[in-house]
Structures are given as structure tokens and as C-alpha cells.
Amino acid sequence: MVLIDRDKILNSFSSTEERILLARAIDLAEVVLKTHQPAVTDFYDPYHTGLVFSVIKPVSDLEVIADGGYPEAERARVLIYPEYMLSEQVDPQLSYLLVEGNFKMAKVSHRDFLGSLMGLGLKRDKLGDIIVNQDGAQLIVDAVIAPFIRANLTKIGKVNVDVKEISRQQLIIPQPRIKVINTTVASMRLDAIAAAGYGTSRSKVAREIKAERLNLNWCPCSNPAAQIDEGDMLSFRGRGRVKVKEIKGSTKKGRTYLVLHKYI
């Protein structure tokens, strides 16, 4: 049987949170190697999904895929299974819930839905994406907790809601609303690009970065001078996300010409 060098892997990470998360993933991988039965992790953001992939994918005899319920899902579960199996044979153990209510007079957001779910005592790692629309939301959750949510989620804020299960095929995924920003920056530093994307000064955004209110590729970053590459995603607490869509070269004055996508 293939052996996983647990200590070597975990000692290469300094974050306690990351070591705990990866230790759980290694536990699942070892169970799969012993039993030849697939296993499924909790929901992770893209950064932590990538960490699990980096550790488990090199293990011979195993395959891994991520499944968040739809191709563009941000939060996903990692499916770990024997290499001779087909991915279609692995159950991601997902349920899809439709939450409906009269929200015409009540302005609610993703935070309101997440807060109501957490208020039921549910853990964040059992919840996938929450897709909010004008009539309510669609939830992607661990199948184990779906009956509990259907029975106990009765309000979002002050609005009474009904919850019913739907199929994966019934999900309605809205196209993201994107503002295209064509800009130039003096350097590819995080503070410069965040200032351009969020329409604020570098000094202000640098303070926010040092306070760890801005994530780079879903990981907290406190270094305003961190170097940014094409494809990187910035997320600013309360201000949304900005993606570095394209680096288009330099101006005559040596500034870098960028195309940013701000998700609104």
C-alpha cells in the first residue's frame, strides 16, 4: 500500500489551521487507500481546495476532483477516490435547497442568509455556495444537514421562508455582473492594484491590507508590497472582489497597463 509521509507534509506548513485541515484530508486519503472506497472532504474555498490538491494529487493510486455543485462554484468539496474508479461513480454528497420568501420589501444579502444558517448552529464547512436572487436563495450544502435546514430554517431576518429540495439540474446560476476597469499602475504591488480596483488611495488600502481586511487568492495577506500576477483574485471585506484579468504591457512612462474585472 502507498504510504503518505504525513509528518513531512504537515511540517512544511506553518499555519495551525492549514495543518489541521490537511491532516484531515490525509486521514481521508489513507482510509481510501485501505478500503478502496471514495471519501469526501468538507467545503473549502479555492485556496484551501488548492492546498488539498497539492498534497493528495501526487499520491499514486488516488485521484481527486473538486465539486461545488456547478462548474463556477467558489466553495467546493474535494472527492478522493481510487484511481481505477470513474469520477461519475463518486457521490459528492451534495444537496440543493431553494429558499423562498417575500423579499420585495426587505433588502437581504448573502450575509443575511449565511447568518441565519450559522444561527442554527451549522458549521461553515458544511455549507457551499449561497446563490442569492430577488426571491430568496439557492443553497448548496452537505447532504447530511439538508433535512435539518428544511425543518429549522424558517426566517431570514424578519422574512418568513419556505425551504424545499431541488435537483442539481434545477439550479439557476446567474451570470456575474462585472465592471471592466482599464487602468495603469506604477507597479504590480498589491496596494497599487487594490487602489486601482477599488477606487481608493494606496495609503488607505495599505492600512486595510496591514489589518488583514483584504485577501489575495482567498488567503489573508498583510503585505502591501506582495507581487500580483495575471489571474490573481483580490477580495476586500465589504467591497467585493477584483480579478486581474489581463496584463497588457507597459506604457511609455513605464507603468503597467491592466484590465481588471470588478464583481458587483
Name residues whose C-beta falls within 8 Å of residue 182's C-beta, 6 or more positions apart in sequence: 257, 258, 259, 260
Domain span(s) for CATH 3.30.1370.160 in the chain: 6-89
pLDDT digits (tens, 9 = 90+) for 208-234: 999 999 999 988 899 999 999 999 999
Q: What percent of the chain has pLDDT over 70?
A: 99
| CATH ID of 6-89, from 3.40.1520.20, 1.20.200.10, 3.30.1370.160, 3.40.50.300 | 3.30.1370.160
pLDDT at 3 over 80: no
Rounded Cα–Cα distance for residues 153 and 155 (Å): 6
Rounded Cα–Cα distance for residues 206 and 161 (Å): 41
In this structure, which long-range contacts are made by residues 233-237, counting pairs with CB atoms below 8 Å and at least 24 apart in sequence? 233/46, 234/190, 234/193, 234/194, 234/197, 236/194, 236/198, 236/208, 237/213
What fold is seen in the domain 94-170?
A: Alpha-Beta Plaits (3.30.70)
Domain span(s) for CATH 3.10.290.10 in the chain: 178-263
Name residues whose C-beta falls within 8 Å of residue 47's C-beta, 6 or more positions apart in sequence: 217, 218, 219
Q: How confident is the model at residue 1 (pLDDT cuts 50, 70, 90)?
A: low
Provide the 10 A C-beta neighbour count for residue 177. 8
pLDDT digits (tens, 9 = 90+) for 109-140: 999 999 999 999 999 999 999 999 989 999 99
Give residue 238's pLDDT: 79
Give residue 175's pLDDT: 87
Q: How confident is the model at residue 2 (pLDDT cuts 50, 70, 90)?
A: low
What fold is seen in the domain 178-263?
A: 3.10.290
pLDDT digits (tens, 9 = 90+) for 37-83: 999 999 999 999 999 999 999 999 999 999 999 999 999 999 999 99
Domain span(s) for CATH 3.30.70.330 in the chain: 94-170
